[in-house]
Amino acid sequence: MGLAFLGMADDLNHLVVFLRMDEWKDFFHFSRKEQLAIFFLLLLTALLLVFSLYNGRWVSWQLLQATASDSLFLKNEIELAEAKSFENQQNSSSFDPVQAIYSRGASALNPFPFNPNQLPIEEWKRIGLSDRQIKAIKNYEAKGGKFYTKEDFARLYNISPEEYAVLEPFIRIPPGDSASGRYPRSQKKLLSDQSEPAIQVERNSISINLADSAALEALPLIGPWTAHRILKYRNSLGGFVQIEQLREIKDIDENRYQLLSEYIRIDTGNISLLRINRLSFKELISHPYLDYEHVKKIINHRERRGFIRDGETLKTVAGLTDDELLKLTPYLNFD
């Protein structure tokens, strides 16, 4: 026990001597090479820290730019989807009551092979035509009208394109009835006034940009469905600036165009201008003379560089051809 105590005392004396002699400093002594190595290690650590901070900010900036670009693209895509949805709704039965009626009428037909000339009323009813349609056909026949071709039957204003598409394969006109081939000009008038006495319309008396559906239906070969298409296209354009624009409407064939051009006139005082710098994506793309690519480029230019000031700039920005710009020019507004 005494020996152990003496050993502990001896160790304590050695510790005191070690502290007094500052031998502990030897543990933290570095050679010149070790000092240089530590310096470069600290410098490398500092450089790595600075680089990581800068690189993090650069990545964040790139992400911010990408996010902004994606947001603009997403905005345009959303507006395009809304525009297409709006257009689909306009073309659907919920927005187009005339087409809805015609579609239901076509589905109710039960045709069989028939000659439309002097067909008895009972047979028309078997096919599925309404009393109003049958009355129009009989009035047409009573005035001396006759169907020489299938197209003559298609010109009846209260036979819709959908109904005619169903009936056309079953129409049988004997050679004797179609031998004349063509009918006199006076008979064209009969094709448009089967159910009502003809309304006397003077030449060039109807302003196409002010006319309502009733005024259009009074014209030869123009029924409710064609009048509806004319008004719909007029609203999309903002108004007609040339009679030739009627050729762009579905169901306006050459015969109808020639007849229309005799009775209508163009007044440009009520044209709705296309405000290139103010309208939204959906509003711009609803114009018949602009497509998705045109509008996307216009919107991107407005977002990044500001307003478009003239037609030549618009042509360059949107990628328009000379003909496309020429058609658009009467509607352009750069305010």
Last residue in a domain, options 265, 285, 302: 265
User: Is the pLDDT reported for residue 141 higher than 90?
Assistant: no
Our count of domains for the chain comes to 3
Q: Indicate the range of 40-44, 99-103, 295-299, 307-311 predicted with least confidence.
A: 99-103
Q: Are residues 229 and 297 in the same domain?
A: no
Of 265, 289, 309, which residue sits at a domain end?
265
Read off the CATH number of the domain in which 222 is found: 1.10.150.320
User: At residue 57, does pLDDT exceed 50?
Assistant: yes
Cα separation, 177 vs 148, whole angstroms? 6
| Residue ending a domain, choose from 239, 265, 291 | 265
**Domain membership of residue 247 as a residue range:** 206-265
Mean pLDDT of 31-44: 78
Look up the pTM and report it: 0.47
Q: Both 108 and 185 in a single domain?
A: yes
**pLDDT over 90, % of the chain:** 27
Q: Is residue 84 part of a domain?
A: no
Structure-token match 């509008």, residue found = 295
Lowest average pLDDT, out of 39-48, 82-91, 137-146, 186-195, goes to: 186-195
Same domain, yes or no, for 150 and 129? yes
Q: Cβ neighbours of residue 2 under 8 Å, at least 6 residues apart? A: none
CB 269 within 8 A of CB 302: no
Residue 82 has pLDDT above 50, yes or no: yes
250 and 285 share a domain?
Answer: no
Residue 33 domain-assigned? no
If phi > 0 it is left, if psi is from -120 to 50 it is alpha, else beta; for residue 30 that is beta
Q: Are residues 186 and 111 in the same domain?
A: yes
Res 147: pLDDT: 84
Indicate if 142 and 178 belong to the same structural domain.
Answer: yes
Q: Is 158 helix (H, G, I), strand (E, B) or coil?
A: coil
